[in-house]
Amino acid sequence: MASAFPILGENTASLLGPVPRISSLLIKPASAVCNLDCAYCFYLDREADPYKALPARRMTEETLERLVDSYLFYSYPNSVFAFQGGEPTLAGAAFFEKLCELQKQYGRDGQNVSNALQTNGILLDDRWCRLFHEYNWLIGLSVDGPEEMHDRYRFNKQGRGTWQKVMQGMETLKKNKVEFNVLCVLSQANVENPKEVYKFFRSLGIDYIQYIPLAEFDHQGQPLPFTIAPEQYGRFLCETFDLWWPDRRRVRIRFFDNIAEALAGQKPGNCTMHETCDSYVVVEYNGDVYPCDFFVEKSWKLGNIQTQSWAEIARRQTRYTFAAKKTLAHPECQVCEYQSICHGGCPKLRHGRHGQFEDLDYFCQAYKMIYAKSVGPLKKEVAKILGAPVPAAAQALSPY
């Protein structure tokens, strides 16, 4: 399908109509720098990383203040700040305490400000957790399952496993009553054990889990050893769906939540199920802005918060060009019964193997497996919750 956005000069895209809002920020206060050395991490030593040769990569207080002031103004009344890395806690607890002070200073009456942070949990202590609790942060903790699965790839700089340390971090979160969920990367270490992984998280009282499938390739487009096959991912999701179904009113699995949201006619929380890639932007440590975490590359830079307003950044032609990559429908997507939920998957997973945005999403087979299994029952469940049939667009979807 042709691009929905004609090619125009920078800053002229706004002539086309309303500019899609930047609805949240993914901020990297320590850039890609991390205190761990996980074998599968795509962010460490990325060739395309524009900052990898730079030694000191920490967001300064001036950049932080400019970020908070300008974004609170732009995003009123709902402002979403999410912190990620690398490892964002490397910026230090004082950095985040300052952030909360600045949010109080620049926020306006009636403004909703939410903060989230994704962490490997190594540096968490009572000081961090008191702050998270006081300001109601949502924390995502990276855990890949029981010890032997987690420690297969998640190493520290000395090459040793990190599970014990992460469990201490989890205890500190629990002790301080911090709201957290678990982010579990699916690799060859755990993808064949959905039951063990699910039971492990449930035994810890975890009731919100995000599974992230690993897909990294070599220069020839061959999957790296820890990458999972689409069929493995599909089986994992289907078996997890069966395990989760009796718990569905008290446990949340992000992918299943997102399918239910789409069936209810809402915009799913996960960008991979949106029509275009323009819901959030990434802010690097020095204020540079990019359209997606997977495309922090010179050619996709949208601007810098020191010299441009959010309104200007939002209407950069590069943002429109990137957003439209998702609309390049593969022939298989054009005839797919799940297109209106899936929207062709994630451009990273289309582009990742051979550098072509036109390719089919690497995990397409997995999506078809889980949609075939879950759409029918979820549709009934959503109708029960809504007290009405699911919206018409979703009616056409189910094979049931």
Residues involved in catalysis: 293
Q: Would you state the structure tokens that stand for residue 153, as one six-digit string?
A: 């790839």
362 binds ligand SF4 (CB under 6 A): no
In the complex with ligand SF4, the residue whose CB is nearer, 101 or 358, is 358
What minimum distance in Å lies between the beta carbon of 358 and ligand SF4? 12
Exposed (0-12), middle (13-18) or buried (19+): which is 399, by Cβ within 10 Å? exposed
Number of H helices, E strands in the chain: 15, 10
Q: Which is nearer to ligand SF4, 170 or 302 (CB)?
A: 302
Dihedral pair phi/psi, residue 186, rounded to 5°: -90, 115
For ligand SF4, the closer CB: 175 or 298? 298
Strands 288-290 and 303-304: what pairing?
A: antiparallel
Write down the least CB distance from residue 347 to ligand SF4, Å.
Answer: 4
For residue 211, give both structure tokens.
């599974």
Which residues between 256 and 285 bind ligand SF4 (CB under 6 A)? 271-272, 277
CA-to-CA separations, 52 to 44, 46, 57, 78, 348, in angstroms, rounded: 9, 8, 9, 33, 21
Q: How far is the CB of 78 from ligand SF4 (least distance, A)?
A: 19
Q: Which stretch binds ligand SF4 (CB under 6 A): 1-9, 23-31, 62-70, 359-367?
A: 359-367
Number of residues that bind ligand SF4 (CB under 6 A): 22
Applying CB under 6 A, does 210 fall inside the site for ligand SF4? no
Distance, in Å, from the CA atom of 26 to the CA atom of 374, rounded to the nearest integer, reads: 30
364 versus 390: smaller Cβ distance to ligand SF4: 364
Burial of residue 217 (CB within 10 Å: 0-12, 13-18, 19+) is: middle
**For residues 382 and 312, is the Cβ–Cβ distance under 8 A?**
no
Q: Is 255 in the site for ligand SF4 (CB under 6 A)?
A: no
Report the site for ligand SF4 in 328-347 (rule: CB under 6 A).
332-333, 336, 338-339, 342, 344-347
The yes or no reply on residue 364 touching ligand SF4 (CB under 6 A) is yes
Provide, rounded to whole angstroms, the least separation between the CB of residue 336 and ligand SF4. Answer: 3
Provide the token pair at 114. Answer: 């939410």
How far is residue 115's CA from residue 96's CA, in Å, rounded to a whole number?
10
Binds ligand SF4 by CB under 6 A, chosen from 367, 369, 370, 398: 367
Minimal distance, residue 94 CB to ligand SF4, in Å: 31
Query: Which CB sits closer to ligand SF4, 244 or 322?
Result: 322
Q: By the 8 A CB rule, do 303 and 297 touch?
A: no
Q: Which of 346, 322, 341, 348 is closest to 393 using CA atoms?
A: 341
Nearer to ligand SF4 by Cβ, of 285 and 367: the residue is: 367
Residues 312-331: x where in contact with ligand SF4 by CB under 6 A, - otherwise, as a string: --------------x-----
361 binds ligand SF4 (CB under 6 A): yes
Contact indicator for 34, 155 with CB cutoff of 8 Å: no
- Give me the residues that bind ligand SF4 (CB under 6 A), please: 271-272, 277, 292, 294, 326, 332-333, 336, 338-339, 342, 344-348, 360-361, 364, 367-368
